[in-house]
Amino acid sequence: MLNRVLTRWLVAVASLLVLSAASLAAEKPNVVILATGGTIAGAGADVTNSATYQAAKVPVDKLIAAIPQLQTIANVRGEQVFQIASESFTNDHLLTLGKRVAALVKQSDVDGVVITHGTDTLEETAYFLTLVVHTEKPIVLVGSMRPGTAMSADGTLNLYNAVSVAATKDARGKGVLVTMNDEINSGRDVAKVVNLKTEAFKSPWGPLGMVVEGKNYWFRLPVKRHTMNSEFDIEKIDVLPSVGIAYGAGNVSDTAYRALAEKGAKAIVHAGTGNGSVAKAVVPALQELRGQGIQIIRSSHVNAGGFVLRNAEQPDDKYDWVVAHDLNPQKAKILASVALTQTQDSKELQRIFWEY
């Protein structure tokens, strides 16, 4: 008799514990981590190897298992979308990732998405998603400058912070975010401005905020069109037109511009000096290529925030060129490629560059 009573009591307690655990899980936000590779999934031969290592080695389940504290802030699950170094990202990778993110944010059981990514092209992917995914739910990209095997590895804290941001309601509606080195940056603005250092990513106009011990502190809001307010939609894009970048410098020739055109570029971003300056030796080739229907976009390769003014340095109206505003060359390439899925009109392209 006593054994039966004790057994029933134990069963009842176990049931209460299960219900309590289920209740706690239901109260926590649900965050999906999409892994694509990069240094954050890298491994070196020795703990002293912070710059010499193999990227894209550690699968997403091990990344999550290495940070058990994640489960205290969200119900976390992972998907391995790619396992590559980000310098090998192609337009097809962008489209595949974008469509997966768009599908996830439509699910009622997903409150936020984190994307682990190599740092070399992280800023391009972040801006692409900013343009084409329609959602108010947080989408947070994260990477690391050191592999997890290195001393003072930054990946675990970066990933913890990214999940923390993605799980919070106050991150909603702010567009795609990049969370590294305790900063929360806009996917539109942020760029990798230095290698080897953990503070590699900066925005020329400053971060949106900070994340400290799981709490967000916001300082400014993005004002350019993004996500829910974007006219572009990943579900309507199956192919991205080819856009090339040609670098401006002293003694530059028109060789790179003509080669890009011959390879089928629909637009060429001129990564110019200063205010997107174009050397005299290059101007005739760019006029000729524009006459062939190729869009010419003047950008600047000034790292701290090149700001290209229309009809300054070059008569853009006369030549029917577009200026990239404050977008660096690689982000200008992303916007041009997305915009060209909808229009070939240079005036419309310029309007898009002002608004995004």
Question: For residue 171, which of 237, 228, 109, 215 has the smallest C-alpha distance?
Answer: 215
Pairing of strands 191-192, 201-202: antiparallel
Q: At 173, which amino acid appears?
A: G
- Indicate if 119 belongs to the active site: yes
Burial class (CB in 10 A: 0-12, 13-18, 19+), 161: buried
CB 175 within 8 A of CB 130: yes
Q: Give me the catalytic one of 7, 48, 72, 119.
A: 119
Strand order from edge to edge, sheet including 30-37: 75-84, 30-37, 112-116, 139-142, 176-180, 183-186, 209-212, 215-218
Vertex 83: Cα angle to 82 and 88 (nearest 5): 85
Q: Which residues are annotated as a binding site for substrate?
A: 86, 119-120
Q: Which residues are annotated as a binding site?
A: 86, 119-120
Catalytic positions are: 39, 119
